Amino acid sequence: MEYKNLVIKASTCSGCKSWLDVCNGDCCKVFKVKTSMIRRARNKTVRVATLLNADLQYYYQLRGCRTTRTEIIIPITLFSITTEGEYTYFHKPCSKLDHNNLCLLHGSDAKPKVCQQFDPLKEEDLSNSRWFIVKSCVANYRKGGKFYKKEYLENNGEKNEINEIKE
C-alpha cells in the first residue's frame, strides 16, 4: 500500500484488528531489550537482568522465555536475534497468536496487562513512548507518528503527497 493510502487508512482506523492487513501482528512477534542489560550464559541462553512483576513474567513466558523476579532467561535457539543501535531484538511470535495473527487472549483478563494497556490510537508522542512501536504499527502513520512526520518524508521524498492530506 502506498504511503498516502496508509496515512488515510490510519486516520480512520478503529483498532489493531482493522490494521492487521498492514501490520500482520508484528508487535506480537518481537520484543527488545537494551543490549547492555544482556549477560551471556551457558546452555544456549541469554540472561537479561531486570525487575519483573508477575504480569511481565507472564508476558515473557508467552514468548518462550523463562523468568524469575530479577531476570529473563531467553533460549536463543528459539529466536531469530538482531541488534540495532543500543537494542537487541528477539523475534518469535507470542504463543497466543493464531495463524491469522489474532490474539487468542484478546478481550480476556488472561491477556497480559502490558498488551492490554498499549493503545496505538491514543499514543500521542511516540518518540517518548515507553512502548516498543514496530515499523508497521498504525501509530506510526497517525498524527504524531514517526512516518507521518519528517522521517518518512525525508527518506522517501514524498513531501508533496503528505501536503495533500487533510486532517
pLDDT along the chain (167 residues), means of 10: 78 85 92 90 87 95 96 94 92 95 92 86 62 82 64 45 41
- The pLDDT assigned to 160 comes to 40
Q: How do the residues of the chain divide into helix, strand and coil, expressed in percent and rounded to 5?
A: 35, 20, 45
Query: What pLDDT score was predicted for residue 50?
Result: 92
- Yes or no: say if 138 and 10 are a contact pair by the CB < 8 Å rule: yes
Count of other CB atoms within 10 angstroms of residue 2 = 9
Residue 157's pLDDT is what?
45
Q: Give the model's pLDDT for residue 127.
A: 58
Residue 103, Cβ neighbours under 10 Å: how many? 18
**How high is the pLDDT of residue 167?**
38
Residue pair 74/67 in contact (Cβ under 8 Å)? The answer is no
Query: Can you give the pLDDT at residue 51?
Result: 93
